[in-house]
Amino acid sequence: SRRLANTVREVLMKLHASGDDYLETILVLQKKLGMVRSVDVARHMEVSKPSVCHAVATLRDGGFLTMDSDYFLHLTDVGRAVAEKIYERHCFFTEQLIAAGVDPETAEADACRLEHCISDESFLKLQRKMPSAPKRSAVLWNMPRAFRPFEPMVLAEQKMRR
């Protein structure tokens, strides 16, 4: 577990924010759809198929995901660890910003940027110090689609916490 954490830390240093976003999106879509292809990622992220193909090749070469003979994408252990870490930060910052009174669309956009630039140490300290933000699932459903890519997972996780 500690070795995997060190590997994840090293990997995060090498990945760009866009790589993180692709991994996070694949994680979300796998939980939502079960099986994920590049076209699903392109639709969800509203990017071109060639962009996804380039990102998938880079992430595959880096050992973050694999593609089977039917062209389904699968996160490796390291890819899943990175995706879960980024997704956790995304949810945390979105919830905290909304609880602080930030407009949900702005909170979502800001969370997407914050999740990539904060150190592990700072994030863990913020997590410990910040009160649990009230869940605003109703607000998430009213957001435009481009600003709410992760709402099904947020809602599913909220139900699990109850």
pLDDT in tens, 30-70: 999 999 999 999 999 999 999 999 999 999 998 999 999 99
pLDDT above 60: residue 143: no
Q: Which of 114, 60, 70 is nearest to 88 (CA)?
A: 114
| Digit-coded pLDDT (tens) for 82-128 | 999 999 999 999 999 999 999 999 998 899 888 888 888 988 888 88
pTM of the model: 0.69
Q: What is the pLDDT of residue 9?
A: 54
Alpha carbon separation from 17 to 67, 124, 131, 144, 162 (Å, rounded)? 21, 19, 27, 22, 32
Confidence band (pLDDT; 50, 70, 90) for 144?
Answer: very low
